[in-house]
Amino acid sequence: MKTALLCAASLLALSSSLTAQAEPATPPLSAAAVDAVPWKPAAVIALAEKVARWQLQALERGEHPRSVKSMPDLRGWEQGALFVGLAALADHSKQPEFANAILQRGKDNGWQPGSRIYHADDHAIGAAYLWAASHGAGNAAMAPLRERFDQILAKPSDVDLHFVEMADRSVPSVDRWSWCDALFMAPPVWLEMARATGEAKYADFAKKEFWATTELLYDQEEKLYFRDSRFFQRRDVNGRKLFWSRGDGWVFSGLAQLPKNDPDRPRIVAIFRDMAAKLKAIQKPDGFWAPSLLGDPETALPESSGTGFYTHGFAWGIKAGLLDRQTYEPVVRKGWAALTRAVRADGKLGYVQPVGDRPDAVEFDDTQHYGVGAFLLAATAVADLNLAPVQPLKAAVKVENPSAHDQPAALVSVPAARIGASTGNWSVLSGDRIYAAQYNAAVDGQPATLSFVMPMKAKARAIVKFLPQSAPLPLQTQAILNVREGGKLQGQAFKGGVFHLRKDYAVPVEHAYHDGLVAFEGLGWESDKVAYRLYLDARGVVDIYGKKLPRPILQSIGQGADDYHAMADWGQDILQVDQSLGMGGLGEVRGGKATQIGGGLVLGHVANEGPVSASARVEHRGFDGGKSNLVARYRIHAGSALTFVDAKGSGMNGPVAAGLVHNKGMTVLKSDAARGGWGYIASWGRQSLAGDDLGLVLFFPEEAVATRFNDDGQTLFVTFKDAAQVRYAFAQAWAQDASGVRDLEGFKAWVATTLDGLNRPPRVLAK
């Protein structure tokens, strides 16, 4: 018996004969070398084995995922879905450990399903028992499950399928398949029981209940399943219907491997193909599917469990001849490449949305048993397709680092036309190393480019080739704007409601400091090195979140459940802004002082442009009595703590200033007298809120500034000649971050290296 029959899937995995009858710490990430995306079957299965092995070892250690208070029920759905994937892997792997794990779990469980008689979640583990029955355990492995199913058939539930929670928090409808997840948990097991026993009554029950659920939850307009009836009228912040990625993933994966001779097949094939067409259309450019399927792809976070189930369904559909290979193979490739970016070096699978019934925030280090099950299903189906490895473009370029210093994160841009690159996912190869790359469309008369970040030795040259697929690296840059929806103002702070990621937001004029309306009081952008936030209130200046770990953190903090002023595993807020311009903030010179903007309408916008960069744009309108405006864009790149700023002011009363908070007793540094190129002002000392050393630096093009060093007692700042053409950059180095800067001399060397990289940036050499 093939694993796909019992677990993957199919709603109607009935044979023709039957029809005739009837957490360790996160290891450091790198913007540098990673292995290529595996495509050949042996390489795909090797990665699957690595992921499965990590999960089995974690189970042996008694580890449990974040948000799960105790080990999930060993007969429950979380591990039931994991063992579905393990059974698929056992059918593909030459290693006996995975089959042994399934057999041992069945013995440990006494081959018993979960304790709730009718609940679909408690049937899921039965897929592993049925697999075991045909792989050495015999009929005893399925006897208790068969007894349970016969008990249900003797007295089937007839409760209404509408999902109504009672006062005692019970939900009567779960005695039937009233939520879309159930279509993965139960029908494949019932159908496999029919195949294994030759008794059609199990298949008949599965089909009857499947169609009842589909009639209620399947949206004919969107070709997707609602999670349950509670979601019929729910909408996201943009007014779109809410379809949960993993919820529809359960269904799509459960529809895989449709029967050939069953009379219900044409209807099921139609749903499968309609869902496939819809899911292809809404796959994100990065290969993942958004946690909320119709959500904004630019703000949606990576999520691997839904993506795993979809990738499995698409790959299976192609192999089965139900989906056109030319049309849908690119979907599989993008999905599989995305999934490889969720795997840590040690085999831990990340980006798995925690247990829940709706879209939610997710982090790289989040894992769950069912996410691993989805990954294993996807891997085995991808291996079955025997996909050819992606080949690099014939065109190659030579790049040079003219700096006298090693540049650990040299940013290189190549004209797309030079290499024949078009929109899509990219990476670059230099020697035996692979780096993330990003296609940047033509804008404002500037040609399209392909940009990437790679380490380069001083004065070194390198040959770079271009690969039209993503590098298997986790998310390293992002911009976040997280706004509370539905809360009520109690006193001076909002309570209740839910935070939603937004791409644009006009801050209401009544927004006040610390009112909890906007997570961490502003919008933010980050790389693997540092996170910055800009206050979306009258201050309008930049603050620092020092990072000890390279994972993204902004999507999860500042929502009332944490205190980012206290040290966490990732770091903390490390700068006190007060009335200064903070960390590279913009302001206006008034009475000889660099002052915060104050007042007016504030609009925020974030853009997650790709794996190499992210940006934020902030507009301050109508300050200075209503006549002044200032628009600024902040951009950060992977591997770097630098933020580049471009701003345009109009109607300003005084010069535009950019500066750094001046804490007393700090060592102040500045570049030599203007000689063209870039200069800097900086400070170093015990000025972090963690009580340790922190270095701040602001870089500026000499030609753009009117005054290059000013100190008003609270801010070190420069002023610009033209308010309509403001350009500069800023960065920080904290004693606990990954920069390696630990003392004043190290900070000076770090600033010198960065300055030389600005003055002598990497270049693409002529052919």
Which residues are known to be catalytic?
181
In sequence order, which residues have a C-beta less than 8 Å from that of residue 297 and are 6 or more positions away?
Answer: 282, 284, 285, 290
Residue with tokens 């990738």: 311
- CA dist 687 and 662 (Å) reads 9
State the amino acid at position 75 in one-letter form. Answer: R
Q: Do 450 and 395 form a contact (C-beta atoms < 8 A)?
A: no
Alpha-carbon dihedral of residues 687, 757, 479, 354, nearest 10 degrees? -80
Q: Do 176 and 160 form a contact (C-beta atoms < 8 A)?
A: no
**Rg (alpha carbons) of the chain, rounded to whole number:** 28
- CA dist 629 and 645 (Å) reads 16
CA angle, 40 then 41 then 44, to 5°: 85
Buried/exposed code over 238-264 (b: 16+ C-beta within 10 A; e: otherwise): eeebbbbbbbbbbbbbbbbbbbeebeb
- CA dist 474 and 61 (Å) reads 26
- CA dist 126 and 386 (Å) reads 30
In sequence order, which residues have a C-beta less than 8 Å from that of residue 561 and are 6 or more positions away?
Answer: none
Half-sphere exposure of 538 (CA within 13 A, CB side): 13
Phi, psi of 129 (to 5 degrees): -65, -40
Q: Do 3 and 90 form a contact (C-beta atoms < 8 A)?
A: yes
In sequence order, which residues have a C-beta less than 8 Å from that of residue 589 and are 6 or more positions away?
Answer: 595, 654, 655, 656, 657, 719
Q: For residue 543, what are the β-bridge partners?
A: 533
Q: 357 to each of 81, 135, 230, 297, how far by Cα in Å?
A: 16, 34, 11, 20
For residue 338 the two structure tokens come to: 């995305």
- CA dist 529 and 754 (Å) reads 14
Half-sphere exposure of 279 (CA within 13 A, CB side): 38
Enter the DSSP assignment of 578: T
Residues found in the chain: 767
Q: For residue 647, what are the β-bridge partners?
A: 632, 726
For residue 606 the two structure tokens come to: 């974030």
Question: Nearest CA to 538 among 560, 558, 517, 509?
Answer: 509
**Chain-centre distance of CA 732, in angstroms?**
25
Phi, psi of 43 (to 5 degrees): -70, -40
Helix (H) / strand (E) element for 511: namely: none
Complete edge-to-edge strand list for the sheet that includes strand 763-764: 407-415, 449-456, 433-440, 426-430, 461-467, 396-400, 763-764
Question: Nearest CA to 66 among 279, 319, 364, 495?
Answer: 364
- CA dist 517 and 537 (Å) reads 11
- CA dist 237 and 76 (Å) reads 34
Q: Do 594 and 578 form a contact (C-beta atoms < 8 A)?
A: no
Maximal C-alpha separation, the chain: 92
- CA dist 241 and 293 (Å) reads 9
- CA dist 169 and 162 (Å) reads 15
Residue with tokens 């993993």: 246
- CA dist 410 and 762 (Å) reads 6
